[in-house]
């Protein structure tokens, strides 16, 4: 029973955080459209670059593991 209550409170907290985040973004975009758009694009670009870098470094680690196993 306590697990179900905790799960519900976690879901409610997640939804509250998502609503607050969305409201903040809409407010910022309404008052500062150009700056918000530029900042959003910069953040999304940095996330994309970091994802590609993570994928590249993960591929190199797999390659190193293959060579070490073959030796």
Structure tokens, 59: 């591929």
To the question of pTM greater than 0.75 for the whole model, the response is no
The conformation of residue 1, written as its DSSP 8-state character, comes to -
Angle 24-22-43 (CA atoms, 0-180°, nearest 5)? 80
Q: Given this model, what pLDDT does residue 66 score? A: 59
Q: Where are the domains of the chain?
A: 1-31, 33-71
Q: How confident is the model at residue 62 (pLDDT cuts 50, 70, 90)?
A: low
Q: How confident is the model at residue 64 (pLDDT cuts 50, 70, 90)?
A: low
Q: Given this model, what pLDDT does residue 23 score? A: 97
**How far, in Å, CA of 47 to CA of 41, rounded?**
10
- How does pLDDT run across 10-61, given as a tens digit for each residue? 999 999 999 999 999 999 999 999 999 999 999 999 999 999 999 988 876 5
């Amino acid at each position: 029973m306590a697990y179900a209550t905790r799960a519900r409170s976690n879901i409610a907290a997640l939804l509250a955080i998502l609503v607050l985040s969305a409201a903040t973004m809409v407010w910022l975009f309404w008052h500062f459209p150009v700056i918000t758009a530029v900042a959003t694009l910069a953040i999304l670009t940095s996330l994309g670059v970091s994802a590609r870098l993570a994928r590249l470094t993960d591929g190199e680690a797999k390659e190193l593991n293959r060579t070490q196993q073959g030796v």
